[in-house]
């Protein structure tokens, strides 16, 4: 598959949404999702690409079944290990079982000489459950977030977490413990062997504050184009948003983008992918979304990790061909103009229920090409109400924008959509010599000018 994203010289827009992610990414990133969706590959790819942009990055796995070593092809331990070939990147594994053993001993040790052996044994038994493992794992990652002396040199700390159920419990701990320590009249003394918990009260509060601060923490929900993993991502996102972790984004991994006509199994899989993307859970639809196409082999080693966000097959850069392009998938263009860059709740406020298109066009003509920094970003799932299987565009203005800027953003986004579709058709061997438009769009002179300049064809 060939990349169909317009080059910088083709358009005033930056059509590499992953570059936008790299620029916006905060200090702490948690990558989570259902088991097997590709969390570790994504975490490693993020870490490698950030480090190769000159950032100091620490990659940490909190997964008891971590394969971070295998993906990075570097033996890792419980302390940050430099990754050969990627200056600025270090990685480590938090072994929850080992951390639990250390934590358990730190709790039990003061009682060994003071209490009978059977009492000490009973304490050890109480501390042998899964809860202790999660407490220990949380203490480890809380220390990484809070210890400025140990981790202050890192610009980014990426946590490759265990499957989402574990992550939910892990990230719920600071809120639960902080509430307990604040609400209990005797502090943590009623916990008996866990009375040392109060010593961490300030740390838990700082970590909780950092987790809830969108300028510091991003929760990356990873799913595949499958109903079960998307529903799991939605559930996890909703629960963590309830804990205050509201800065979230979605990465849909391993998306099947094409299938041979003579392969019924592949055709069936492609259909299931398309259906899953069309029926994406409501709570995920408003999240920033990045999509990565299915790779022909497992992502292992630095070379493959470097290509995750730039090689052919990244659907976000290949939006127009993310679904079969045997037919023209362009939607109702009049509807798209009104809704492409303006979310429905904003539509009445920005352009009015029955906008004066001539007045808007006049205002839009006064806006420079590129809409004063507007970024047009392709996504693989269009607004269902538009009845289109092509890409959807969202936009983020670099400064407050009036209706004229928004309208020009809509026009230029639409032109990008058509240009991407044309390029996909050309790559499929079709010859396009002219573009014909009709309906309301044909009456918008500015749109025709923008389209002609962007596609380089008569309109």
- 280 with 367, same domain? no
pLDDT of residue 441: 63
Q: Within a domain: residue 324?
A: no
Q: Within a domain: residue 328?
A: no
CA 441-442-443 angle, 5° bins: 90
pLDDT of residue 444: 78
Q: Mean of the pLDDT values across residues 23-33?
A: 91
pLDDT of residue 386: 34
Which one, of 236, 242, 210, lies nearest residue 221 by Cα?
236
- 121 with 70, same domain? yes
Can you tell me the distance from the alpha carbon of 121 to that of 168, in angstroms, rounded to the nearest whole number?
Answer: 30
pLDDT at 216 over 70: yes
Q: Mapping DSSP to helix (H, G, I), strand (E, B) and coil, where does residue 131 land?
A: helix
pLDDT of residue 214: 93
Burial of residue 259 (number of CB atoms within 10 Å: 0-12, 13-18, 19+): middle
- 349 with 278, same domain? no
Can you tell me the distance from the alpha carbon of 166 to that of 129, in angstroms, rounded to the nearest whole number?
Answer: 14
Which one, of 347, 299, 337, 364, lies nearest residue 45 by Cα?
299
Maximum average pLDDT range among 148-157, 350-359, 384-393, 430-439: 148-157
pLDDT band at 323 (very low <50, low <70, confident <90, very high): very low
pLDDT at 88 over 90: yes
CATH at 448: 3.30.420.40
pLDDT band at 399 (very low <50, low <70, confident <90, very high): very low
The dihedral through the CA atoms of 333, 334, 339, 345 has a sign that is negative
pLDDT at 233 over 80: yes
Of 126-130, 153-157, 210-214, 377-381, the one with minimum mean pLDDT is: 377-381
CATH at 124: 3.40.50.300
pLDDT at 207 over 90: no
End-to-end CA distance of the chain: 28
Q: Within a domain: residue 327?
A: no
pLDDT at 161 over 70: yes
- 302 with 386, same domain? no
pLDDT band at 44 (very low <50, low <70, confident <90, very high): very high
User: Which residues, listed in sequence order, are joined to residue 57 by a DSSP beta bridge?
Assistant: 89, 156
- 244 with 294, same domain? yes
pLDDT at 25 over 60: yes
Maximum average pLDDT range among 84-98, 103-117, 347-361: 84-98
pLDDT band at 307 (very low <50, low <70, confident <90, very high): confident
| Run of H or E residues at 291 | strand 288-293
Q: Within a domain: residue 12?
A: no
Write out pLDDT tens, residues 173-200.
666 666 655 655 444 433 443 445 566 7
- 240 with 345, same domain? no
- 310 with 361, same domain? no
- 354 with 293, same domain? no
- 366 with 442, same domain? yes
- 359 with 269, same domain? no
pLDDT of residue 425: 62
pLDDT of residue 329: 34
DSSP state of 356: -
- 274 with 377, same domain? no
Q: Mapping DSSP to helix (H, G, I), strand (E, B) and coil, where does residue 221 land?
A: strand
Overall pTM > 0.75: no
Q: Of 253, 288, 317, which closes a domain?
A: 317
Q: Mean of the pLDDT values across residues 3-17?
A: 32
pLDDT at 48 over 90: yes
Maximum average pLDDT range among 281-295, 352-366, 381-395, 427-441: 281-295
Q: Of 289, 317, 345, which closes a domain?
A: 317
Can you tell me the distance from the alpha carbon of 121 to that of 444, in angstroms, rounded to the nearest whole number?
Answer: 81
Q: Within a domain: residue 279?
A: yes
136 or 323, which is more confident? 136
User: Which residues, listed in sequence order, are joined to residue 291 by a DSSP beta bridge?
Assistant: 252
Can you read off the two tokens belonging to residue 337? 């103009």
pLDDT band at 403 (very low <50, low <70, confident <90, very high): low
Maximum average pLDDT range among 111-115, 254-258, 320-324, 414-418: 111-115
Q: Within a domain: residue 1?
A: no
Q: Of 271, 289, 317, which closes a domain?
A: 317
pLDDT at 99 over 70: yes
pLDDT band at 342 (very low <50, low <70, confident <90, very high): very low
pLDDT of residue 20: 66
pLDDT of residue 427: 60
List of residues 6+ apart from 345 with CB closer than 8 A: none
Q: Within a domain: residue 326?
A: no
- 221 with 112, same domain? yes
| Run of H or E residues at 381 | none
pLDDT at 284 over 70: yes
pLDDT of residue 144: 92
Can you tell me the distance from the alpha carbon of 260 to that of 281, in angstroms, rounded to the nearest whole number?
Answer: 29
Q: How many domains does the chain have?
A: 2
Can you read off the two tokens belonging to residue 431? 């010859």
pLDDT of residue 356: 67
Q: Within a domain: residue 6?
A: no
pLDDT band at 38 (very low <50, low <70, confident <90, very high): very high
pLDDT of residue 138: 77
What range defines the domain where residue 35 resides?
17-317
Percentage of the chain exceeding pLDDT 70: 61
3-class secondary structure per residue, 406-424: HHHHHHHHHHHHHHHHHHH
């Amino acid at each position: 598959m060939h990349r169909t994203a317009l080059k910088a010289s083709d358009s005033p827009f930056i059509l590499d949404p992953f570059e936008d992610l790299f620029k916006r990414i905060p200090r702490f990133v948690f990558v989570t999702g259902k088991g097997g969706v590709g969390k570790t590959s994504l975490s490693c790819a993020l870490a490698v690409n950030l480090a190769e942009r000159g950032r100091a990055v620490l990659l940490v796995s909190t997964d008891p079944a971590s394969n971070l070593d295998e993906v990075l092809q570097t033996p890792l331990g419980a302390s940050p290990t430099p990754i050969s070939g990627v200056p600025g990147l270090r990685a480590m594994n938090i072994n929850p079982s080992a951390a639990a053993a250390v934590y358990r001993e730190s709790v039990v040790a003061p009682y060994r000489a003071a209490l009978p052996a059977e009492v000490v044994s009973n304490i050890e038994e109480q501390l042998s459950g899964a809860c202790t493992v999660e407490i220990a794992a949380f203490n480890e990652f809380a220390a990484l977030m809070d210890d400025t002396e140990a981790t202050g040199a890192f610009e980014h700390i990426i946590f490759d977490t265990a499957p989402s159920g574990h992550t939910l419990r892990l990230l719920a701990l600071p809120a639960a413990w902080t509430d307990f320590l604040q609400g209990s009249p005797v502090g943590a003394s009623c916990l008996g062997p866990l009375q040392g918990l109060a010593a961490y009260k300030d740390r838990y509060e700082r970590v909780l504050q950092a987790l809830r601060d969108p300028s510091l923490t991003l929760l990356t929900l990873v799913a595949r184009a499958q109903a079960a993993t998307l529903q799991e991502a939605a559930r996890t996102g909703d629960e963590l948003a309830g804990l205050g972790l509201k800065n979230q984004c979605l990465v849909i991994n391993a998306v099947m983008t094409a299938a041979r006509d003579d392969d019924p199994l592949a055709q069936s899989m492609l259909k299931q992918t398309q259906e899953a993307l069309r029926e994406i859970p409501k709570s995920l639809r408003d999240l920033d979304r990045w999509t990565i196409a299915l790779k022909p082999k497992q992502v292992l080693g630095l070379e493959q990790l470097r290509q995750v966000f730039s090689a052919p097959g990244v659907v976000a850069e290949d939006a127009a061909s993310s679904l079969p392009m045997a037919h023209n998938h362009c939607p109702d263009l009049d509807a798209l103009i009104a809704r492409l860059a303006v979310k429905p709740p904003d539509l009445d406020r920005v352009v009015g229920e029955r906008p004066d298109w001539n007045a808007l066009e006049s205002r839009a003509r006064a806006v420079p090409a590129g809409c004063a920094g507007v970024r047009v970003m392709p996504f693989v799932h269009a607004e269902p109400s538009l009845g289109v299987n092509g890409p959807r565009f969202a936009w983020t203005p670099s400064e407050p924008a009036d209706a004229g800027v928004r309208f020009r953003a809509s026009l230029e986004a639409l032109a990008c959509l058509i240009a991407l579709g044309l390029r996909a058709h050309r790559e499929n061997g079709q010859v396009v010599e002219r573009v014909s438009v009709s309906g309301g769009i044909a009456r918008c002179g500015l749109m025709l000018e923008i389209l002609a300049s962007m596609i380089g064809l008569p309109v």
